[in-house]
Each structure stands twice: as C-alpha cells, then as structure tokens.
Amino acid sequence: MANYHSPRRTLAAEATRTAIVETARRLFSERGYAAVTIAHLAEGAGVAVPTVYASAGGKAQILRLLIGEAVHDPAVAQTLALVAAAGSAAEMVRATAAGVRRRSAKNQPSSEVFRSRLSSLTRTPAVLISSEPRSEGSPKGEG
C-alpha cells in the first residue's frame, strides 16, 4: 500500500510547530520558563493543548530546541574561529565579546530564554522543571 503524503498538510504542520516554538521563545523571555504553561503556549500559538504536545513536545523539549538553535547558530562557529585565530589573550577577549554582542543583538529573545531559565533554576525546585514524564494524576515529582 502506498504511503499518503500531502504537501499542504506538511506545510501546515510546520507552520503550527513554528508558531508554538516562536510563542515559547517570546513567553519564556517575557515571563520566565517556570511561569509559562503549555496552556499559555497553546493560547499564544492559537492551537489546542494536545496540539502543542503533538507538534512540539513539552516545555523541556521546546526549551532544548531553542537552546539547540542558539548553539548551532553560524555566528557561534564564526566567533570560535576568530577566537582560535587570535594572536593574544586581549584579541581573544575582544573576539568573544564581539561575538556575544552579535548573537545577542541578532536574537535577543533567545538570550532572554537562557537568562530566565537560569533564573528559574535558582527559584524552582528541580522536580518542577524535570523533563521526566509523570504518571497521569500523580503529584509533581512522583513520576
């Protein structure tokens, strides 16, 4: 039996995932990771809560995606190359600072996501931000 493939559905699914991820980027930046719920992401992206899970996963998966995008940014590789080519410690520091400024200016929300995530780690018990799935109906942390 042939597999059914609909380019229109594929494009719609990609648009939905993009809307969810961009909403997460914005809300994590504005409110902090711990303060954002999947319901907030669904509302901001204009989808149902199950659609968030089906399209992008839970909060931890979405955060990993955002961090992965930042880590694999070509600006990071460019900065590392400039640092490696630097002839002195002062040049290394200048290259690093310039790279951080470029990255921050290019994608301010991602920088805020990292800051808010780090900030939430100092205020939120680890069990609340664990990416481990919980059993249905079990209290947080009782897996």
Q: Residue 31's domain is classified under what CATH number?
A: 1.10.357.10
Task: Count structural domains, the chain.
Answer: 1
22 falls within a domain: yes
Q: What is the pLDDT confidence band of residue 28, given thresholds at 50, 70 and 90? A: very high
Residue 79 predicted with pLDDT over 60: yes
Q: Would you say residue 134 lies in a domain?
A: no
H-helix segments, the chain: 7-31, 38-45, 49-56, 59-71, 74-85, 89-106, 108-123, 126-129
pLDDT by residue (tens digit) across 94-136?
A: 888 888 888 777 665 555 555 555 555 555 444 444 444 444 4
The predicted pLDDT at position 69 comes to 84
For residue 77, what pLDDT is reported?
Answer: 84
Give domain status of residue 85, yes or no.
Answer: yes
Q: What pLDDT is recorded for position 141?
A: 43
- Does 102 fall in a domain? yes
Residue 138 belongs to a domain: no
pLDDT at 27: 95
**Residue 132 domain-assigned?**
no
Given pLDDT bands bounded at 50, 70 and 90, which one contains residue 68?
A: confident
Q: Which tokens is 36 given? A: 């954002």
Would you state the pLDDT for residue 109?
Answer: 53
Whether residue 93 is contained in a domain is answered as yes
Q: Which residue has the higher pLDDT, 68 or 35?
A: 35
b/e for 20-39, b at 16 or more Cβ within 10 A? Answer: bbebbbbbbbeebbbebebe
Q: Taking residues 76-105, report their average pLDDT.
A: 86
pTM, two decimals, is: 0.58
Residue 136 lies in a domain: no
Range of the domain at 58: 11-124
Q: How much of the chain, in percent, has pLDDT values that exceed 90? A: 45
